[in-house]
Structure 1
């Protein structure tokens, strides 16, 4: 139970970090920094920050020994992660943080379907726990789209002057259809990452080593991609602007802290539990939009947030009930074996 509470807190923090990063990244990209350079420098800085810690960890032999199959698993995991990162940034550049946060809500549905395919989750439609998981997933995703599609009258009206960030964000033209396609595809890769992360953590249960090699391989892959795509040499030069702030934030908060939190939470609570926190991101987006971008808070935002929370707790209730059932059956089997063991010994 203690691990589940820590996983709950960890995933809330991880989603908050990711949502804030979307706003910061959008401002930086509208400021002129190249998307692929932003990704590369963020990954590279993350690798450098983790290198001393991982070297010490491996030197002290506090992690399992590395072998070729483990390295291959790390590389495949980084392939899913880096592909999703590129798609997320490109989609964000073409659209907005609000659309990006909304389409993150496809991740629980994708993860639930993939978990069923790989037999990591079981659905018995006659049981209330399974019905709660299925309906809760649908409800929470629906609530997220209520926030986007239904605005409604303002509940809290921001009377302050228009934020300079809001003016800055409105300068760039958005291609919502293409951006939405990229973001939806990124949700699929994120779901694959959650599913495969659970498998990797079972074979190599050292969170920080897995995270380091994932980021290291992602740095190499993004460097190759950037060298092919980015032709203008001036775009490789860093300046003292919002782009540099974004790189530091993404490297420290998003790629080191958030990825480590997600990997640890997947290890402790499973991929479906962690993916179900994505709908909460739209709540954070609405709040940060009102606080930092000068957006008003509308009835649709309040109603959609309530629906998200209801769906979220329905899934958590279903998962908790299934776990209690498994624990009860395990205790019954142990007690029955304790009762039968003396009888077998007496007969011998």
Structure 2
């Protein structure tokens, strides 16, 4: 069950990200200032996590040195301040479905960075190495097909009329804005891939995920507040009322910045950055299904083909990484037998989740 928990945690994370993408799009259309949003959500997450981190990790939390604090500061800079502010700026120009689809560059970028930094093993002549490469390429191809192939058969929507009218504003997703938004979203995902890599490095020297997540939110709040002093001087944008914008702030602070950040930190510590990154393609499928129900968007043939390739690619990469773990355990044992007296062939035939 411990192995299954990593997979379940990352699937739940992508479900949460999908909901956040939709809610944030609504709130941006309602006038939510994205810079203010980033500040508020991380303040909420910091206040929520700090008591748990202090109590639960008092004995296992290592001393905080200047070097570790500097690494966490850089983590917050890439993973929150740069990534989120640039992402939300781009989300104002394109739909949530396209934004999530562009997020599928994250697995390939993270995989490439990890291989170059020798954090990820890649033996191209082995079956597991080929599976990881082919799976990554399938995820990229699937996301591109999902996003750009709008021809072919147009499937009937789940509903005839949209349950939510989210695109009745003055904002238009024209060609110029689409390109601008895509560039911004792509830039934000480069920062996010860097965050995943750095997270794996910092987690080794500071193995206290709750405390680490709390410090990331603390530095993110400071950094985003400094950005807000320059770009968000309108006092009205800081006023909170009982509306959708407040719901989005609370949801993102509690669920995304607190819970999901913690789950990702925990998974990256034990499974590595590529494992966490490979679940990103699921988000585009989740958002597309929600959009089909809520906005009456109709799916194309390319949407189904792209989704199929994403799922197959994800399975290939996870299969390859799973076999890497088996081989590593066998090598460390040095006896051809895994812990518990199980042979490698038995492990291949009996394993299910990990």
1:340 paired residue number: none
**Residues 156 and 298 of structure 1 are in contact (CA less than 8 Å); yes or no, is this contact kept in structure 2?**
no
* Superposed counterparts of 1:180-219, under 5 Å: 180-219=182-221
SS at match of 1:165: coil
- 2:245 corresponds to which residue? 243
> How much does 1:301 deviate?
1.9
- In the alignment, the residues of structure 2 paired with residue 171 and residue 154 of structure 1 have an alpha-carbon distance, to the nearest angstrom, of 27
Partner of 2:291 in structure 1?
289
Cα distance change on mapping 1:146 and 1:62 into 2, 3 Å: same
Q: How does 1:24-43 map to 2 (within 5 A)?
A: 24-43=23-42
Pairing 1:122–2:121 present: yes
Contact 1:238 1:244 (8 Å CA) reproduced: yes
Residues 258-277 of structure 1 aligned to structure 2 (within 5 Å): 258-277=260-279
- In the TM superposition, what is the alpha-carbon distance from 1:165 to its structure 2 partner? 2.9
Q: What residue ranges of structure 1 are gaps of 5+ in the alignment?
A: 336-348
Corresponding residue for 1:80?
78
Give CA deviations for 1:193-212 in whole Å, capped at 9, x if unaligned: 11111111111111000000
How far apart, in 2, do the equivalents of 1:56 and 1:327 lie?
34
Residue 176 of structure 1, CA deviation? 1.2
Q: Evaluate the alpha carbon distance shift between residue 159 and residue 20 of structure 1 in structure 2; reply closer, same or farther with a 3 A threshold.
A: closer
Q: Which residue of 2 aligns with 1:4?
A: 3
CA distance in 2, matches of 1:262, 1:80: 15
2: CA distance between counterparts of 1:163 and 1:320? 41
Cα displacement (A) at 1:161: 1.9
Residue 222 of structure 1 aligns with which residue? 224
The alignment partner of 2:162 has SS state of coil
TM-score by length of 1: 0.90
Question: Is 1:157 equivalent to 2:157 in the alignment?
Answer: yes
Aligned partners of 2:106, 2:59: CA distance in 1, in Å? Answer: 36
Instruction: Tell me the CA shift for residue 69 of structure 1.
Output: 1.9
Residue 132 (str. 1) matches residue 131 (str. 2)? yes
Which of the pair has more CA radius of gyration?
A: 1
- Partner of 1:297, secondary structure, is coil
TM-score (norm 2): 0.89
Contact 1:27–1:165 under 8 Å retained in 2 = no
What pairs up with 1:316-331 in 2 under 5 angstroms?
A: 316-331=318-333
Taking the aligned partners of 1:259 and 1:37, their CA distance within structure 2 comes to 19
Q: 1:51 to 1:329 in 2, by over 3 A?
A: closer
TM superposition shift of 1:50: 1.8
Displacement after TM superposition at 1:334 (Å): 8.1
Deviations 1:28-50 (A, max 9, x none): 01001111111111111111222
Match of residue 179, structure 2, among 177, 180, 187: 177
**What secondary structure does 1:154 align onto?**
coil
Asked if 1 retains the 8 angstrom alpha-carbon contact of 2:162 and 2:294, the reply is: no
CA 247–159 in structure 1, closer or farther in 2 if over 3 Å, else same: closer
What secondary structure sits across from 2:155 in the alignment? Answer: strand
| Distance in 2 separating the partners of 1:123 and 1:5 | 24
Q: Which has the higher helix share?
A: 1
Deviates more, 1:46-55 or 1:17-26: 46-55
User: How big is the shift at 1:65?
Assistant: 2.4
Query: 1:64 aligns to what?
Result: 62
Alignment deviations for residues 106-151 of structure 1 (CA, whole Å, 9 cap, x no partner): 1011101110111111222222211111111011111112111223
1:292-336 Cα offsets, whole Å, 9 max, x none, are: 22222332222211111111111112112222222233333588x
What residue is the counterpart of 1:50 in the other structure? 49
1:55-92 per-residue CA deviation (whole Å, 9 max, x = no partner) reads 3346x434222222221221111111121111111111
Question: Could you say what the CA RMSD is over the residues aligned between the two structures, in angstroms?
Answer: 1.8
Tell whether the 8 Å contact from 2:157 to 2:293 is kept in structure 1 after alignment.
Answer: no
Find out whether 1:257 has 2:274 as its counterpart: no
User: Which residue pairs with 1:306 in the alignment?
Assistant: 308
Q: Distance in 1 between matches of 2:13 and 2:184?
A: 22
Aligned partners of 1:159, 1:309: CA distance in 2, in Å? 25
Distance of 1:297 and 1:48 partners within structure 2: 41
**Shift in Å at residue 51 of structure 1?**
2.5
User: Are the equivalent residues in 2 in contact too, given 1:3–1:268 (CA < 8 A)?
Assistant: no
